[in-house]
Amino acid sequence: MPDYDDPALEAQWFAERRAEVMGYLQNEEVDHGRVGERPAWHIAPWVSVWAIESKKSADWVGWWVICGDLPTDYVSAETIKHPRDAVRAIAEEWLEQARLMANADSHPGTRIGRPEDRASLAPLLATRASQLLEWADDDSIWDDV
């Protein structure tokens, strides 16, 4: 595995994830302010959480976006003030989505993948959500945030 402690490799990974976040926000039509050059929290190459500036309130976080070796998703920062809480909120939402998908149901306000792929996507989403919850519960990886 590449050495993500190498500053050049880390910078490249950040730039790639940032571009992914920017494309995702555009695709989702999220009206936002600035996106930093670095994530608010990350474990390269698996996950990064980005603080997205609110367009209404400059210098305030309006959204949290997660991306990496998992689905890209976002949550409002209205009540979520820390990237750790954003990871937990997204993971809990994904577990609910996975449960619905496994039962051939769908969430009324969210779509993940194509309906015909739900049965195969459900366990993958549940696995990613469980890993996120493990990370959210691990105090040792949040010391610097």
Q: pLDDT tens digits for 9-49?
A: 999 999 999 999 999 999 999 999 999 999 999 999 999 99
What is the reported pLDDT for 133? 97
Query: Following CA atoms 71, 8, 4, 127 in sequence, which dihedral angle do they give, to the nearest 10 degrees?
Result: 0
The answer to whether residue 62 scores a pLDDT higher than 90 is: yes
Q: Which of 74, 57, 55, 58 is nearest to 66 (CA)?
A: 74
Q: What does the pLDDT look like over 85-139, one tens digit per residue?
A: 999 999 999 999 899 888 876 666 566 666 666 777 889 999 999 999 999 999 9
* Residues 77 and 55 sit within 8 Å (Cβ to Cβ): no
Whole-prediction pTM value?
0.90
pLDDT at 1: 75
